[in-house]
Amino acid sequence: MSQQQTLSNQRVRPPIRHIGLLGGTFDPPHHGHLLPLQEILAQLPLDSIWLLPNHIPPHKAGTHASAGQRLDMVSLLCGDNTRLSPCAIELERASPSYTVDTLERLRHKHPDCRFYFIMGMDSFLNLPQWHRWQSLFDLCHLILCERPGWQLDEAQPMMAQLQARGQKAEDGLPQANSGKVIEVPITEQPWSSTEIRAALKHGELPDGAMPKAVGDYIHQHRLYRHR
């Protein structure tokens, strides 16, 4: 092999894969998770979105369904959409599922990937309470979606972050490796796991809350019933 060929081989890098991440407790997963992801995929050239059920949610008292059941439901939520997949990385550790730890692990495991952590406005407004939250901007971009009942106004500390880092979905993916907040317009979805669990306690599954396969799983496993 000539010296020139060796040099050019050394320069060949695998193409970057652009991966969206939706972390959540998914207790249970619902259309407020799924439908925004479909709209994000229609607007941004992401290769895939991975859905990461957490093991120990950092800011919640606990979970109602087990980690395994939540992972099963997330798989059913993804259905046959080949650009959506469940990712069990947070289930592999027994400590609280801090997102910054997950991103460090993912970056180490997948050096060819650039990550885009997706969140609703409720999570974005609470971001300053997250563990080492500012480091997230060194590890990924954020994708921000509206959520009914949650609004960012001038007085909120996250407004300054959005002003400094914000860009619109129509501008495509950023050139930088990390640190931007991409605002993606979505059709607002009224669903929340808390309200769905409250309805299921009385044996009701709200119409249109989730794909049928997830509802069937909940019934088969008798989840979220009044005990």
Ligand X SMILES: O=C(O)c1ccc[n+]([C@@H]2O[C@H](COP(=O)([O-])O)[C@@H](O)[C@H]2O)c1
Beta-bridge partner residues of 147: 150
Instruction: Give the per-residue contact string, 129-168, with ligand ATP (x = CB under 6 A; - = no).
Output: ----------------x-x---------------------
- Compute the distance between CA of residue 227 and CA of residue 223 in angstroms, rounded to an integer: 10
Q: Is 75 in the site for ligand ATP (CB under 6 A)?
A: no
Instruction: Give the per-residue contact string, 14-33, with ligand X (x = CB under 6 A; - = no).
Output: ---------xxx--------
- Compute the distance between CA of residue 118 and CA of residue 11 in angstroms, rounded to an integer: 32
Identity of the residue, 111 or 128, whose beta carbon is nearer to ligand ATP in the bound complex: 128
Q: Is 189 in the site for ligand X (CB under 6 A)?
A: no
Long-range contacts of 193-199 (CB under 8 A, 24+ apart): 193/25, 193/26, 193/27, 193/28, 193/29, 193/30, 196/28, 196/30, 196/224, 197/27, 197/28, 197/64, 197/224
Identity of the residue, 108 or 125, whose beta carbon is nearer to ligand ATP in the bound complex: 125
Residue 147 binds what, of ligand X, ligand ATP, none (CB under 5 to 8 Å, by partner type)? ligand ATP
Q: Is 36 in the site for ligand ATP (CB under 6 A)?
A: yes
Q: Is 90 in the site for ligand ATP (CB under 6 A)?
A: no
Tell me the H-state helices in 2-98.
Answer: 3-11, 31-43, 67-78
- Tell which residue, 31, 46, 80, 78, has the closest CA to residue 186: 31
Least gap, CB of 60 to ligand X (angstroms):
5
Residue 20 binds what, of ligand X, ligand ATP, none (CB under 5 to 8 Å, by partner type)? none
Which two three-digit tokens encode residue 188?
């607002």
Angle at CA of residue 168, ends 33 and 44, nearest 5° = 55
Q: Is 122 in the site for ligand ATP (CB under 6 A)?
A: yes
Identity of the residue, 113 or 196, whose beta carbon is nearer to ligand ATP in the bound complex: 196
User: Which parts of this chain interact with ligand ATP (CB under 6 A)?
Assistant: 24-27, 32-33, 36, 119-120, 122-123, 145, 147, 189, 191-194
